[in-house]
């Protein structure tokens, strides 16, 4: 009997030890961060770390990237699969697209930015003050980063974007031990989908709750504006895009840009088209279909009607030109010439939508002052 009790005690003790080992490896439980509109990434949070999965770093990407974002003393399961480990919260960062700047500022992390390729493209007044103070270094061009300067800066991470898997600059950076994290916000097809990538940055700075709140506020404003637009009985016809060389380039009907026109309760004349990139049509084709369009938006680099007509007198045949209803984002620039729309627009779709509603249905937003879209001078 004593032997039986002793054997049972040893077995129970062994079981407890095995159970403790299993708990350290297999009982880590997490929860997924609510990603409501974006399709390109997901976040799963655990105690002391998160798994950030970027599904579409670029169009047609065959494999997603999985990043382990861990606090300094986080306990990580031994059997966890990931591509790269990054210690969070980040203290210093390099980003490679102006669309990343507004997210940093919204999270009060603009001072963590220490390098950027093409500083003159940045429009934000807050970040430009940091540039003037010498806090942010010039890194050349995105497709050919100055790796020597970047290595001297030694950021905690580089946020990159790429059109395909081949990027020699990023490959060189990775080999030095500096993590490169791909951001695919530009691949999203919906306004709110792009804006939700602020949660991507929230994860990097361990500010998930702040990022969630910022997005929720933007989404609420967007949906409120869309509802207001829906109360209008009129639905004006809209033309978009402009000529480059001998082709008129305009957004497809399933694009990010076209969604704004739809949600602003207007009739985009090419809403029945779908595809990647932009439509490329002849001038004659566009004139035949859109000559009587009530509004023309996103009219290229034009800032005045004189400039428009000087480019081609045939533009005068459009009703929108005759009635002075041509609007461009090229009139809203930063002090060094960067266009605000391309920087802040993806992060603030609510402002873009309000701009368009104020243009198409001015009676609905009488006191509103457009941020991006301005009438040609």
Residue that the structure tokens 């609007």 belong to: 327
pLDDT for 54 beyond 60: yes
Share of the chain above pLDDT 70, in %: 93
- Angstrom CA distances, 96 to 35, 52, 115, 292, stand at 24, 19, 9, 41
Identify whether 164 is preceded by a cis peptide bond (ω within 30 of 0). no
Domain segments of the chain: what residues?
Answer: 31-218, 234-375
Q: What span, in angstroms and rounded, lies between the C-alpha atoms of 334 and 217?
A: 25
Q: What span, in angstroms and rounded, lies between the C-alpha atoms of 180 and 161?
A: 10
Fold match flag (31-218 vs 234-375): yes
Residues 6+ apart with CB under 8 A from 16: none
Residue 247 three-state SS: strand
Q: What span, in angstroms and rounded, lies between the C-alpha atoms of 214 and 200?
A: 12
| Cβ(362)–Cβ(354) below 8 Å | no
The H-or-E segment that residue 50 falls in is strand 49-54
- Angstrom CA distances, 158 to 94, 100, 119, stand at 5, 11, 16
**Level-2 CATH architecture, domain 31-218:** 3-Layer(aba) Sandwich (3.40)
pLDDT for 58 beyond 80: yes
Residues 6+ apart with CB under 8 A from 334: 122, 123, 124, 125, 128, 340, 343
pLDDT, one tens digit per residue, over 159-209 is: 998 887 777 888 889 899 999 999 999 999 999 999 999 999 999 999 999
pLDDT at position 312:
86
pLDDT band at 28 (very low <50, low <70, confident <90, very high): low
CATH fold, domain 234-375, is Rossmann fold (3.40.50)
pLDDT at position 320:
96
Q: What span, in angstroms and rounded, lies between the C-alpha atoms of 172 and 178?
A: 9
Q: What span, in angstroms and rounded, lies between the C-alpha atoms of 159 and 157?
A: 7
| Cβ(228)–Cβ(365) below 8 Å | yes
pLDDT band at 346 (very low <50, low <70, confident <90, very high): very high
Indicate the average pLDDT of the chain.
90
Q: What span, in angstroms and rounded, lies between the C-alpha atoms of 238 and 266?
A: 7
């Amino acid at each position: 009997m004593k032997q039986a009790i002793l054997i049972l005690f040893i077995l129970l003790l062994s079981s407890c030890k095995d159970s403790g080992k299993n708990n350290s490896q297999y009982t880590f439980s997490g929860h997924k961060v609510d990603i409501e509109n974006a399709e390109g990434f997901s976040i799963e949070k655990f105690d002391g770390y998160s798994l950030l999965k970027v599904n579409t770093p670029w169009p047609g990407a065959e494999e997603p990237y999985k990043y382990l974002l861990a606090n300094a003393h986080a306990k990580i399961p031994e059997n966890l699969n990931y591509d790269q480990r990054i210690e969070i919260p980040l203290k210093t960062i390099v980003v490679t697209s102006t669309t990343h700047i507004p997210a940093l500022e919204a999270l009060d992390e603009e001072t963590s930015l220490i390098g950027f390729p093409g500083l003159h493209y940045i429009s934000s007044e807050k970040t430009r003050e940091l540039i003037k103070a010498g806090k942010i270094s010039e890194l050349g061009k995105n497709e050919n980063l100055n790796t020597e300067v970047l290595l001297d800066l030694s950021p905690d991470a580089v946020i990159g974007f790429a059109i395909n898997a081949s990027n020699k600059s990023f490959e060189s950076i990775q080999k030095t031990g500096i993590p490169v994290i791909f951001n695919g916000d530009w691949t999203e097809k919906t306004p709110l989908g792009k804006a939700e990538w602020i949660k991507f940055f929230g994860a990097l700075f361990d500010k998930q709750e702040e990022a969630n709140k910022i997005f929720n506020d933007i989404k609420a404003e967007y949906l409120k504006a869309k509802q207001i637009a829906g109360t209008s009985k009129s639905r004006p016809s809209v033309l978009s895009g402009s000529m480059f060389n001998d082709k008129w380039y305009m957004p497809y009907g399933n694009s990010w840009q076209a969604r704004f026109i739809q949600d602003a309760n207007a009739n985009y004349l090419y809403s029945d088209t779908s595809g990647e990139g932009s439509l490329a049509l002849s001038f004659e084709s566009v004139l035949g279909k859109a000559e009587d369009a009530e509004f023309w938006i996103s009219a290229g680099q034009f800032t005045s009607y004189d400039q428009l007509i000087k480019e081609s007198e045939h533009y005068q045949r459009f009703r929108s030109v005759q009635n002075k209803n041509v609007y461009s984002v090229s009139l809203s620039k930063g002090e060094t010439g960067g266009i605000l729309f391309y920087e802040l627009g993806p992060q603030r779709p609510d402002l873009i939508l309000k701009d368009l509603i104020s243009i198409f249905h001015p009676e609905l937003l009488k006191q509103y002052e457009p941020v991006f879209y301005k009438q040609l001078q």
